[in-house]
Amino acid sequence: MDSSSDRSLASRVRRWTGSLIDMAAIVLVVAAAKTAIAEPYYVPSGSMEPTLQIGDELLATKYPYGYSSASLPAFVTLPDTRRILGALPRRGDIVVFRWPGNRSQVWVKRVVGLPGDRIAMRHGRLWINGAPVGLVADGTGQSEAADGSREPVHRFIETLPGNRRHLIFKHAGIEPLDNMPEIVVPPRRLFVMGDNRDNSADSRIPVALGGAGLLPVSDLVGRVDALVGSWDLAAMRQPIWEWPSGLRFSRFFTAVR
């Protein structure tokens, strides 16, 4: 092989090496941003309706609560670690977390109880520290199932201590999770609930039975501040050329509270 061929081969190797380095750098930057700043997640269930809908794409901001192994990108699953730069959520924050039963799963719920709080459910109403939370009827809504079917439910405005207000869904009558004896939230734990109160495997249900249980603070991923997009899965029942009609443009880049 002559020297010109050697130079050509060396030049191609350098270009390939440079491209690989550039790609690796991009991957590292994206992974670092998803670990330290924010990461998008898809909402597959109606447990947080009406606040979050099936098909929403939310953005979880990671720095408000500090960092642990739970903060790594969703595809990375490592054992639990202590948090650094840690801070507790506020009551009313919507949080993304690793499910304690399987840390490869990422769930979303609303924080209603902090360490030391006394939490109870009485006839479908949430009680915090011996007092019922504010609850005002706000008409009716439509609760959506994963198959796209809907059923009417009552809608309420719930007000947590600190005057944090949000909408919830509630069926009429007494449901299995409507009553719970008062418990005290232990240190480094949180009590989380879904806004769709009769369709949420939350802190009212132990992890062993498929619920969130009393959530370890170390499993927090981040706080939900905004939606980046949304698509109604019911559109999949239509011909493929009509799927774009499922885009919920009114929910794109909107704040969540």
Which positions are annotated as active-site residues? 47, 109
Alpha carbon distance 89, 76 (integer Å) = 23
- HEC sequence for the chain: CCHHHHHHHHHHHHHHHHHHHHHHHHHHHHHHHHHHCEEEEECCCCCCCCCCCCCEEEEEECHHHCECHHHCCCCCCCCCCCCECCCCCCCCCEEEEECCCCCCCEEEEEEEECCCCEEEEECCEEEECCEECEEEEEEEEEEECCCCCEEEEEEEEEEECCCEEEEEEECCCCCCCCCEEEEECCCCEEEEECCECCCCCCCCCCHHHCCCCCEEHHHEEEEEEEEEEEECHHHHHCCHHHHHHHECHHHCCEECC
β-strands 56-61, 164-170 pairing: unpaired
